[in-house]
Structure 1
Amino acid sequence: MPMSPAESFDRYVIEERLGEGAAGEVYRAVDTRLRRKVALKVLRRDPEMESEAWERNVARMLREARAAAGLTHPNIVAVYDVGEHDGVPFIAMELVDGKTLRSSIGRDLPQSERLEILLQVAFALAAAHASGVVHRDVKPENVMVREDGVAKVLDFGIARRLPGALTNTQDSGVSRLSRLTGDGSIVGTPAYMSPEQLLGHEIDARADQFSWGVMAFELMAGRLPFRTDGGGLGLVTSILNDEPRELSDAPEELAAIVRRALSKSPDERFPSMEDLAEAVAGVVASQLPPAPPMRKKMLSSGIRLVYAQAPEAAAPAPAPPPPARTNPILIVGAAALAVGLFIGGVLFLLQRSQDGAAPPASAAPAATSAPR
């Protein structure tokens, strides 16, 4: 049963319900211990699930949530707390003031903003993969976009373990597709699943590339890359067998990246999400105006590329004039002249001194005449 405002759940006080789904509800709540607002995700048990299966899935979900709590990245919603209260598992997460990317699909959003959102999501996925966490449920509903344009990816390592997910690889293909598609209508997650995930095969981080590619196509074109006219089963069949539509509503370079991410075989996709993110970063950089100059930084884990507008460089202060340089030939000449004058003066003084000491012999003393 949904909780009401002012109701307490563990140390959290409910303010309002933000959303709900088959697996539970998400509430805006206040952490009374740390006195901060959080998004509180409370998981609910499927009435048809047996106790043993429920306990196994809860234990797995809590283990995965604790692993996700170790992720620190500006484009990943932080996980603050995980636990159980009265047998109900919960996750307390960063409260993002914004709206899901789903609300931007099909709207007249500037292409530059769409490219930047896709780049931020790629950063987040690459950082998670570097920490050993695969999302497995990348879709517009799991991306929040703040008013300032910052994208935040939700539910790392959590959504893949929710009750009803594709975890039993021994089910027949027909039963799996029936559970996924219900009465034939398109349900959210299967539309973004990679072929190997739909088939129940072992998956790795490259499955997130495929999901990112579906989301990127939908954000740029306003529709899914595979046929949807056959309902849910037709969509899954198209994902498994058809080539994606041409993405004509995006730069050619991005269309090539998306096409590679949507390859049926994981080996034909990018070697890593980091490689995909770097390719998208190049497209974003090429779409930005050339002035003012841009600078590129590599931040946490060598994953997140940040393109920031550099302030206009201040005009450098005029350099002081260099000291006047004297011709070395002139210096040598002046020194030689000074030495010559000095020596000449000394010789002149010596000659005068000798002349005064020995008067000439022919000189007679002056006669003194007396009057007669």
Structure 2
Amino acid sequence: MENLNLRQIQNAYTAIATKKSPTEGFQDHPVLNDRYLLLSLIGKGGFSEVHKAFCLKEQRYVAVKVHQLNKEWKEEKKANYIKHALRECDILKTLDHPRIVRLYDVFEIDTDSFCTVLEYIEGNDIDFFLKQHKYIPEKEARSVVMQTVSALRYLNNGIKPPVIHFDLKPANILLGTGTSSGEIKITDFGLSKQMCEDTYDPEHGMDLTSQGAGTYWYLPPEVFVQGPNPPKISSKVDVWSLGCIFFQCLYGRKPYGHNQSQAAILENQTILKAKEVEFPPKPIISDGAKAFIRRCLTYNVRDRPDVNQLSDDEYLRSYPKRSTTTASARTAQLLMNDSSN
């Protein structure tokens, strides 16, 4: 399909609720790359749209992300966007873990747009769930944490070079069944960092060359430090982010800068001042969960656990004998398998 743009794709949609098969009634819908039949728009960002689609070759549902470059952008901005998108693809195509969304394909539509084809997940993300329900009960929230830690452990030990996600947040954790008690998948590796041997020092970490990028409510103090040299980062960035996510799942609010904009967080140095975490009186949360969050949100990066240490944390290991969910039981086994490797 030549010169296909987002407006043409949108205009092609009709209602799909009564269809009996994946392709019935969609003869007039766009087919990208001769194999991906677009069914419905499921998400929209600043420069991209995500569509539910059906792969005619593999006979499965997929998520097609259409990246549309603004024709008025300067070449430098276009190159930067493409660089981040391609880096995400380069990282994703090497990943194979049950808690991480899989990349299937990448292709060009025209000079100003291209597509990435990802595993399709039926449910919404945690951010959407929290907007609907405000809280996630501790048992289910811990299952989310355990599954996320399993994925992070894989990113640190299961692939070479290891990867820092760097943009963990509720919007980037998908709920496979749409409920908080099911299996999760981590997505969006656009800001991820590869810890290559020539740039990563096991003792000090690696230079953060993209300071200012990311979602500030979930980033640790060290990434906001200004100085003659760039800050050093490691997997401990993701540990801090996970602590913020767990707090928000339990209390329905962010631990730092809850009602502030990103600009205000910078201006007020909110995260640089985040030396203590304060827990609301309600809902009632276990002391173990609070202690776990405190460990994740340890201000001094040297004292904060890394991903490997976090996977051995007593709070994740000492879960009740009755399995809270099927997902948490499977994830507990994953964590034990990770530790034995």
TM-score (norm 1): 0.66
Counterparts of residues 208-287 of structure 1 (less than 5 Å): 208-236=238-266, 237-247=269-279, 249-270=284-305, 272-279=306-313, 280-285=315-320
SS of match in other structure, 1:82: strand
Letter of the 2:218 partner, please give it.
Answer: Y
Name 2:196's counterpart in structure 1: none
Structure-2 separation of matches of 1:261 and 1:121: 13
Counterparts of residues 42-81 of structure 1 (less than 5 Å): 42-46=66-70, 49-81=73-105
Q: Cα distance, 1:51 vs. partner?
A: 1.3
CA distance 1:299–1:118, shift in 2 (3 Å): closer
CA distance 1:297–1:122, shift in 2 (3 Å): closer
Q: Cα distance, 1:229 vs. partner?
A: 4.7
Name 1:97's counterpart in structure 2: 122
Q: Cα distance, 1:151 vs. partner?
A: 0.9
Q: 1:284-308 CA distances to partner (integer Å, 9 max, x unpaired)?
A: 347858xxxx999754894389xxx
5+ residue gaps, structure 1: 170-175, 181-187, 306-372
Assess if the C-alpha contact under 8 Å between 2:274 and 2:299 holds in 1. Answer: no
Name 2:223's counterpart in structure 1: 197
Two-structure CA RMSD over aligned residues (Å) = 3.1
Letter of the 1:96 partner, please give it.
Answer: I
CA distance 1:299–1:111, shift in 2 (3 Å): closer
TM-score (norm 2): 0.71
CA distance 1:49–1:168, shift in 2 (3 Å): farther
CA distance 1:47–1:127, shift in 2 (3 Å): same
Assess if the C-alpha contact under 8 Å between 1:216 and 1:258 holds in 2. Answer: yes
SS of match in other structure, 1:127: helix
Q: How many residues align?
A: 279
In structure 2, which of residues 184, 189, 205 is the aligned counterpart of residue 151 of structure 1? 184
Structure-2 separation of matches of 1:238 and 1:296: 34
Structure-2 separation of matches of 1:300 and 1:128: 13
Name 2:110's counterpart in structure 1: 86
In structure 2, which of residues 47, 63, 69 is the aligned counterpart of residue 23 of structure 1? 47
Q: Cα distance, 1:60 vs. partner?
A: 4.7
Q: Cα distance, 1:159 vs. partner?
A: 4.2
Structure-1 separation of matches of 2:75 and 2:137: 49
- Which sits farther off after the overlay, 209-218 or 195-204? 195-204
SS of match in other structure, 1:93: strand
Letter of the 1:104 partner, please give it.
Answer: F
SS of match in other structure, 1:246: coil
Structure-2 separation of matches of 1:287 and 1:246: 30
Structure-2 separation of matches of 1:301 and 1:108: 28
Letter of the 1:42 partner, please give it.
Answer: V
Assess if the C-alpha contact under 8 Å between 1:45 and 1:54 holds in 2. Answer: yes
Assess if the C-alpha contact under 8 Å between 1:190 and 1:198 holds in 2. Answer: no
Structure-1 separation of matches of 2:257 and 2:135: 23
Assess if the C-alpha contact under 8 Å between 2:146 and 2:331 holds in 1. Answer: no
Assess if the C-alpha contact under 8 Å between 2:135 and 2:251 holds in 1. Answer: no
Structure-1 separation of matches of 2:32 and 2:190: 20
Name 2:204's counterpart in structure 1: none
Structure-1 separation of matches of 2:220 and 2:255: 12
Q: 1:105-148 CA distances to partner (integer Å, 9 max, x unpaired)?
A: 25354321111111111111221222212211101111111226
CA distance 1:158–1:83, shift in 2 (3 Å): farther
Q: 1:85-109 CA distances to partner (integer Å, 9 max, x unpaired)?
A: 2132322111111121113325354
Name 1:116's counterpart in structure 2: 143
Question: Which structure shows the higher helix fraction?
Answer: 1
Structure-1 separation of matches of 2:309 and 2:122: 30
CA distance 1:250–1:46, shift in 2 (3 Å): farther
Assess if the C-alpha contact under 8 Å between 1:62 and 1:83 holds in 2. Answer: no
Assess if the C-alpha contact under 8 Å between 2:50 and 2:63 holds in 1. Answer: yes
Structure-1 separation of matches of 2:322 and 2:165: 29
Structure-2 separation of matches of 1:231 and 1:212: 20
Name 2:171's counterpart in structure 1: 141
Name 1:183's counterpart in structure 2: none
Letter of the 1:150 partner, please give it.
Answer: E
Letter of the 1:158 partner, please give it.
Answer: G
5+ residue gaps, structure 2: 1-5, 14-28, 194-207
Name 1:107's counterpart in structure 2: 134
- Which sits farther off after the overlay, 107-116 or 132-141? 107-116
Structure-2 separation of matches of 1:80 and 1:215: 28
Assess if the C-alpha contact under 8 Å between 2:84 and 2:190 holds in 1. Answer: no
Structure-2 separation of matches of 1:295 and 1:146: 14
Q: Does 2:65 align with 1:41? A: yes
